[in-house]
Each structure stands twice: as C-alpha cells, then as structure tokens.
Amino acid sequence: MPSYGSFSGNPKTEWMDETDTKDRNMRLLEDFWYVDPAGFKWPAPKDSVINGASIPRPLWSVVGSPFTDDYRRASVVHDVACADPLVNRKEADEMFFYACLAGGCSMRQSRILYAGVRIGTWAAESLPAEAFSRDRMLFRVPLDVPVPEEPFLKGKLGAIALDFESLSESDGVAQMDTIIARHLKFNNL
C-alpha cells in the first residue's frame, strides 16, 4: 500500500466568537502539520485561523461540508497553505488530495474533493467578483436564494466526477488534471 504521508496528530482548536462572520473560524491551539509523500512538511502553526474545507457551498450537498468526514485534518493544512501568499495554490490543492488519502478518505472521495478545491480555485479566478461579495458569497455564507453559479458549479463537478470513473486506482494528479482541464480553463494556474 502506498504511503500518502502523515499528520502530526489531531489538531487542537477552539471556536472563535466573532460578530462579523457566521462563527465558522477556529484558532489552532498548538502547531499541527502534514508531511506529504515527498517528505515536504506543510505547517499549520499555533494561532493560525482556519475555517474548514474550501469547498464551494453549492457543492456541500455533493462533496461534504467543511468540518465533516476524514478530510478534516487535510482541510486544516490546506486552509493555512491557501492563506500563505508564498504557497502556490495548485501545489496546495495537490497536497490536499494526498492529505485526504492520508486522513482515511477513499481514492474516489479524495479525487472528488480534489476536483472540488480545483473548482473553487477556478471559480475564485473566473466567476464575477460579486459572486463572492459578503452577501452572496458562495464559499462561506448560507444563501437564501440560489445564485446562477450554483447549478453551474454542481454541473462542472458532476461532469468531472463522471470522467474520473475512467481512471484506474494507480492514476494520479496528472491524469486528474487532464480531465479537469477539459472542463475548466485556468488563466494563470
């Protein structure tokens, strides 16, 4: 069985009480990290603020919500990596895929989660800025009225997931990226 890396343990966190958000943020109470299959350490230092998996809200019913399932630890290091301007987002998303596997997700679930964060990266780059405004934010705030982007994003994920069915267990990130590229056009990633 291949090694997908390892975590330093379980993250220790506390919920933050905030007046300007929906109280989704947590603060790390001690250092936490993930070491990927290549031996690179992805740190999540004490006092980092995290808010769960960066899965667009319209995909929660398909992929899962930010704090559930075996990808919770992967979401911690991914959150911290994505907040670091020195970290390449594509590399952070790849790390998330392997961290999901290390956390106990199946290959199929890890692939869908990888597609979800790649769609999130693409959406932030490609969709209108107002889709991410505080009152219509796709990623963090419940929407009273679905935005036009919601069925579009679900359709993209569904099409990618269907194409992923052709992959073998040994196919990796490069093969997933080929499929994702058929459905999404990244400008600079």
The string of pLDDT tens digits covering residues 93-152 is 999 999 999 999 999 999 999 998 898 888 777 766 655 544 444 444 444 445 566 677
Question: Which pTM was predicted?
Answer: 0.84
CB-based contact 80:88 (threshold 8 Å): no
How high is the pLDDT of residue 17?
A: 81
How high is the pLDDT of residue 148?
A: 61
Which of 188, 68, 36, 174 has its CA nearest to residue 114? 174
In a 13 Å sphere around the CA of 118, the CA atoms on its Cβ side amount to 29
SS3 50: strand
Percentage of the chain lying above the pLDDT 70 cut: 74
User: Quick one: angle between helices 89-103 and 107-126, nearest 10?
Assistant: 160
Q: DSSP character for 132?
A: G
Give Cα separations from 162 to 80, 108, 109, 157 (angstroms).
30, 11, 13, 8
Asked if the model's pLDDT at residue 43 lies above 80, the reply is: yes
How high is the pLDDT of residue 115?
A: 92
Asked if the model's pLDDT at residue 41 lies above 80, the reply is: yes
CA 62/CA 120 separation, integer angstroms: 14
- When comparing pLDDT for 52 and 1, which is higher? 52
